[in-house]
Amino acid sequence: RAETGNDQNTYGLMTRPNKPFMIGIGGGTASGKSSVCAKIIDQLRYLDSNGRQVVIISQDAFYRDLNEDEKKKAIKGEFNFDHPDAFDYKRMLQTMKDLTASKPIMIPKYNYISCTKEENGVFLEQPDVIFVEGILTFYFKEIRDLFHMKLFVDTDADTRLARRVNRDVLRGRDLEHILNQYTSLVKPAFEEFCLPTKKYADVIIPRGADNTVAIELIVQHIQELLRPSKSEFFPDSKPLVIDYE
């Protein structure tokens, strides 16, 4: 950031927002939430000349710690990671509130193999634009209400399962475990807890990252909202640093 001497001022003109712009991305497992975020951010970076700091936070960082019994279940694919109770909701809410208040925070890093999190994850210092993605991003009202824009990635369930199998095999799980967990826990929880949150979305993105038209429209809209002269997020923005080198 400009005031800390960060090299982002090579963009030439730097503005400082009053509060970060928060975008939530929900959708089923392996629907393409992370891929959609990455594409939006790529295009924003390409188009934005204000050098804003954009970050992605995954809801997975807020899985709660498991007790010994739950760890044994998790190893067998019998722990329900798709139920709202699997998350440390209070911690996620507090982190999001801190971000809204521009307080520096540490996001833990989740390990899918050990099903634990490392506290020493990613340190964030007042990002300007924050993407929060996860299966239950819109489930908890207090968290949902903090977003300025809500997107839901709507990808066919067979496609999602195929991608999930590939991904979980790479995470060292065997096929029987993956399919049992999917049919007995993931799919029912998707229908009970995730799918009903689609109604809260401002924009539904069919086919995820393949939907280039939707992604372009969303990028244009975000750019418009963040335009310094008209934005409530960047009101009357004054350049903090002007550096033409």
Q: Is 135 in the site for ligand C5P (CB under 6 A)?
A: yes
CA dist 216 → 56, 72, 87, 128 (Å):
18, 44, 32, 20
What is the C-alpha separation between 62 and 86, in angstroms, rounded?
Answer: 9
Q: Is 71 in the site for ligand ADP (CB under 6 A)?
A: no
Q: Which of 35, 40, 82, 99 binds ligand C5P (CB under 6 A)?
A: 82
The CA-based diameter of the chain, rounded to the nearest angstrom, is 59
Q: Is 195 in the site for ligand ADP (CB under 6 A)?
A: no
Kindly write out the interface string for residues 15-44 of this chain, putting x where it contacts ligand C5P by CB under 6 A and - elsewhere. Answer: --------------xx--x-----------
**209 CB contacts (<8 Å, ≥6 apart)?**
32, 35, 36, 38, 39, 215
Q: Is 39 in the site for ligand ADP (CB under 6 A)?
A: no
Q: Which of 15, 35, 59, 237 binds ligand ADP (CB under 6 A)?
A: 35
Q: Is 31 in the site for Mg ion (CB under 5 A)?
A: no
Output the CA torsion 122→126→128→131 (10° steps): 40
**197 CB contacts (<8 Å, ≥6 apart)?**
26, 136, 137, 138, 139, 144, 152
Q: Is 51 in the site for ligand ADP (CB under 6 A)?
A: no
**188 CB contacts (<8 Å, ≥6 apart)?**
none
Tokens read off for 22: 């928060």
Kindly write out the interface string for residues 92-121 of this chain, putting x where it contacts ligand C5P by CB under 6 A and - elsewhere. Answer: --------------------x--x------
What is the C-alpha separation between 229 and 24, in angstroms, rounded?
Answer: 24
What is the C-alpha separation between 36 and 204, in angstroms, rounded?
Answer: 12
Q: Which of 16, 21, 24, 33 binds ligand ADP (CB under 6 A)?
A: 33
Query: Measured from the CB atom, is 66 or 93 closer to ligand C5P?
Result: 66
Q: Is 148 in the site for ligand ADP (CB under 6 A)?
A: no
Closest separation between CB of residue 22 and ligand C5P, Å?
A: 19
Kindly write out the interface string for residues 142-171 of this chain, putting x where it contacts Mg ion by CB under 5 A and - elsewhere. Answer: ------------------------------
Tokens read off for 240: 């903090």
Amino acid, single-letter form, for residue 60: D
Q: Which of 23, 186, 214, 218 binds ligand C5P (CB under 6 A)?
A: 186
Footprint on this chain of ligand C5P (rule: CB under 6 A)? 29-30, 33, 60, 63, 74, 81-82, 112, 115, 135, 186
Binding site for ligand ADP (CB under 6 A): 27, 29-35, 133, 163, 167, 208-210
